[in-house]
Structures are given as C-alpha cells and as structure tokens.
Chains A and B, each alone.
Chain A
Amino acid sequence: MKIGSSLFDLGRLDRISNQETAIHGLDPRVKVLVTLVFIVAVVSFGKHEVSGLMPFFIYPAVLIALADIPLGYLFRKILIVSPFALMIGLFNPFLDREIIINLGPVAISGGWVSYISIMLRFALTVGAALILIACTGFNAICHALERMGAPRVFVVQLLFVYRYLFVLTEEASRMVRARALRSFPGKGTGMRVFGYLVGHLLLRTLDRAQRIHLAMLSRGFDGEIRILRPMRFGIRDLAFLFGWSGLIVAMRLYDVTGLLGNLVTGGAG
C-alpha cells in the first residue's frame, strides 16, 4: 500500500514537472537560485515574526497559478510531510508564556506567536521546495546543480538513484498488487513472503539496471545525461531571477503587511 501510494506521488510530481508552461520553460538555474533566496529570506525572520511572513505567500501563489500546479495536491503533500518542525515547535507555547499581544479580552503569549511563525515558515519553505521540483523536474535540477559547480560524480549518482527509484517502486507496486490479489486475510502477507518479494525485486532491479546501463553505453552514454529542454539563459530568465529576488529582498526589508494594515485602519499604529 505504502509503496503504491508513494509511487503514485512520485509519478504525479514527475508528470507535473513535464508540463509546458512559461515557468517550466525557464532556465532551471534561475528557479533553483530564486528558491534558495526565498527560503533564506523566510527563515531569516526573527522567531516571533508572523505578519512579515504573509507577503511571501505571493511567490507560491504566482508560481502555482502560472505553472499550473494542482493546489489540492500540493496542500496534501505539505500536510503529510515531516512533522518534526511542528512537533518541536509545540513546546514554544508552554515554554514562552509571556503575553505579547492583547486583542481586547484575548491575550496571546509569545509562545503561540512563535509557534504560528514556525508553521508559516514550514508551509513556505516546504511549499517552495515542492514547487521547485514540480515546475522544473529532477533531471533539470541535477543539470542545473552541475552547471553551478556540483561534482559530476554526485550529479550522476543523483540521476541514477532517481531513475532506479522508479524502476524499483513500479516493480514493487505490481508485486504488492499481485500479492494482495492472491492472498486472503492473514495469509501470504507474512515476513517470509515479504522477504522473498523484496529479494526478487532487488534481483530484478539490479538485472534491469545493468541491462539499462549496458544499453546506455552502447548508445554512447558518456556520463552525461542530456535533457530535452535546452538551457539558454535568456532575457526572461534574467527578468525572473532579478524580479523575484528583488521583490523577495524588498519584502524582507520593508513591512508590507504593516503598511497595508495601516492604510486600511487609518494609519493609527
């Protein structure tokens, strides 16, 4: 079950990353760079920052819309991943009980504010990483990493892991389905059968991996995996890079939320 569902996930993300949109057509390097600028800007806020983080949702919102990424799918992925931050953060409301905001009768402690801040950071950083892969594709990211100076051996390793991951999980999901169809409650799902299944899976995967590798060699594989989208650093890429970086830095330096809020509430603050 688990293998099947995570395969579905990987496959879907991979398909989304192969769409043809203006964002997908950009040079992967600019997308990697803007994502990094975005994440660093988000995590560089003080731990009680909440309102300053709000404007940053503009980046995911625009990219989701332009790159045609299904929003529900992205939400689900963000919700299920690594609850580490949320669990560690849950201590804050108990350890920091100093009241820092009074809204009429409701007093909010620093711990709750910093916990909300952690949740916002979490959503933004995780969302940015998923959006990067969804609008770029793993191969293109690896290619970009190599162009930006990552060691060739490591890049080829990343590409191979990714490739074999699909081979392995596809094979495994077929096996799991086959077993489920043939086994009745309590039988055939034990440790022995599982061991055989995984053993055979790896056997087949290694066999296939070697065949693939030989086939690649006989077709002239020289250690470089070429991608269909050529990497051209055009004016659009430049605009994307400097436009977003500029906006992100500006949102980091100026309190956009405060300005908007003051505008509406009559500048009382």
Chain B
Amino acid sequence: MHMADALLSPAVGATMWAATGGLIAYSSRKVKEELDERKIPLMGVVGAFVFAAQMINFTIPGTGSSGHLGGGMMLAILLGPYAAFLTIASVLTVQALFFADGGLLALGANIFNLGLFPCFFAYPLIYKKISGKGPSKGRIVTGAVAAAVVGLQLGALGVVLETLVSGITELRFIPFLVLMQPIHLAIGVVEGLVTAAVVVFVWRARPEILEMARSNRPIGNLSIRKVLVGLVAAAALTGGALSWLASSHPDGLEWSLFRASGKEELQTSDQGIHASLGQVQEKTALLPDYGFKKPNASIEEQEERWPAVDSGTSVAGLVGGALTLALTVLIGLVLKKRRGLSK
C-alpha cells in the first residue's frame, strides 16, 4: 500500500514530508540520547532483515490475494518506537530509491502511514497495554494482532485521505474506503499473527530484549550473541511462516482493485463504456455507491473543471506533444552519439 507520486498533489506531499521530517529528527535525537553506538549497526542489520522479509509476498488464506510483511509492529516491539521508526524510514527510503516503490515525493507519506501509526499509536497504546507488565503468550498474540490491525487500518485510512485530498483520482471517499479497509483488515490479521509468532519466540528465548524495548533503555553491554539468538529465531519463524504463505499473487491492494473494477480492459471502446459500466457495476458488490460521475457531483470536481476544449487546440496539442517527444528523443540520441565519439 505504498502511495505513489503520480496520485499525489505537491501540497499533500510536502505536508507529509514536513510531518515525517519532524518525526525523523525527533526520533534521531531520542535514539542519540538513549542509545549507545552499538545499537546503530544493530538497527541497520534489522532493517536489512525486514527488507529481505518484505521481498517475499504471502497469500492471505481463502482469498487468493497476497501481501507482504510490513514489519512495522515487529520492529516497534523489538527495538522500541524511536529506533523502529528510524529503521522503517530507512527501509522505505531504500525501497523508494532502488525499486522506485512509491516515489520520492510520496516517501514522506509512506513513512508516515507505515511508520507513525504502528510505532507511536498501535505499539504504546495497544500492544503495550494488552501485553502488560508480565506478558504471557496469549497476551502477546492478542496484543500483536490487535496492534497490527489498528496500525494497518490507520495506515490504509491515511492512504485514502492523502489520495483523496490530492484529487488526482476520481474515486470518492466511501467507495475508496470500502475498497481499502477490508483488505487491510485481512492483511492486518495475518501481519499480527506472523508478528506474534516472532515475538513469542523472542520472548521465550531472550525476554530481556522485549523488556528493553518496553522501557526504552539502551542495549548497553548486552552481548550481540544473545540478541543474535533471538533474531535468528525471528528469522527462522518469519522465514517458515512466509515460505508457507509465499506466492506470486498480486499485492492485496491491486487484487482488490481488480476485483472491484472487473474486466475493465476488455471494454475500452468509446461507445462501449456506457453500456458496459452497468455490467461492471453489477459485479462490484464491494462498492455499493460506486455511482456514475455527474457534473459538479464532488468537491474536487468543482475545483478541477476541465475547460471546454475545441478540437482545434486539441489537435495542436497532440501534434505538439508528438513533436516534443520526438525532439526529446532526438536530443537524447545526439547527446549519446557525441558522448560516444568523444570517448
């Protein structure tokens, strides 16, 4: 559920960046104050571990859909909110740059949605409260599932609100919400179960790791070996759970979109749209009031009226567009050629 630059307006992107930047600065100061430098390589390793786990998609049982481990809740439980927030932010930054997952402007929103909610809401307000002072297996599982569900629901709500405020999509609030929330409820439950399995194992092998995150005390002279045992357990469990679930199905979000929109690609002819839309709508049980767009029906529509275009200017626009593209390619080729000659 990465947001993408293409759906974001600059104002929304910048706002989310400002919020995220502030949080990163705050968390960095906290980590600096509370931790010794040994924790920094540890955060790096755990970040790389989450990254590897995120590359594996898993099937949500019974739906044929799939998602990947967010890892936010697990990091919060293992590292504490501040270090976890920085780790999530770093993982998302690497993804944005190397896999172009989301994009650079949307990165602020993505860190906000996937980092803030699990680390600073779901972890302290739900997981910590439920798992309590003397955690048991049942409490950890309940806490992790509840926290993961709430964290992901808030994150999905964030995606919906940010996308709608940006106004690039024509989707309206209720259909979009109905589209996003249930699928992320399912992902949240699975995410919570996987997280709980990892955390319970760590809690049994090395209870002080969880204790440290809970009290936000520095790791100090704790031997890296001990931490390692816990993390290996986490890796083995995550690996086991994920390999069981691993699949090459599309992402949960994409799946829900395909389901909701039906066989859109078959009906691209201009006259066919009107008729076939009714057909699509019938199949769209997920979207009860997925109405046809009427002029002036929604707020963003009123703001964004397309000016009446006569075909003269649109022909000029099309010719100009083709020309611009051709020129661009030409410039690129000439530069490439000159580079080749000068070598």
Contacts and interface: CB of A to CB of B under 8 A. Distances in A.
- Which 4 pairs, one residue from A and one from B, show the smallest C-beta to C-beta distance? A261-B320, A160-B44, A198-B239, A151-B28
Interface in B294-338: 295, 304, 306, 308-309, 311-321, 323-325, 327-329, 331-336
Interface in B1-43: 1-10, 13-14, 24-25, 27-29, 31-32, 37, 40-41, 43
A21 B315 CA distance: 40
Interface in A154-171: 154, 156-165, 167-169
Interface residues of B, number: 116
B40 A160 contact: yes
Interface string A124-161: 01101110110000100100000000111110111111
Given A87-B257, A160-B47, A262 B28 contact: no
Given A95-B170, A153-B28, A213-B41, A57 B328 contact: yes
Contacts of B257: 87-88, 90-91
Given A47-B167, A85-B7, A269-B313, A2 B55 contact: yes
Interface of A: 2-3, 6, 9-10, 13, 21, 35-36, 39-40, 42-44, 46-48, 50-51, 54-55, 57-58, 61-62, 64-66, 68, 77-78, 81-85, 87-98, 100-104, 106-111, 113-114, 118-119, 121-122, 125-126, 128-130, 132-133, 138, 141, 150-154, 156-165, 167-169, 172, 190-192, 194-203, 205-207, 209-210, 213, 223, 256-262, 264-265, 268-269
Contacts, number: 366
Interface of B: 1-10, 13-14, 24-25, 27-29, 31-32, 37, 40-41, 43-45, 47-49, 51-52, 55-56, 86-87, 89-91, 93-94, 96-105, 163, 167-172, 224, 227-228, 231-240, 242-244, 251, 253-254, 257-258, 261, 264, 268, 270, 273-274, 277, 280, 292-293, 295, 304, 306, 308-309, 311-321, 323-325, 327-329, 331-336, 339
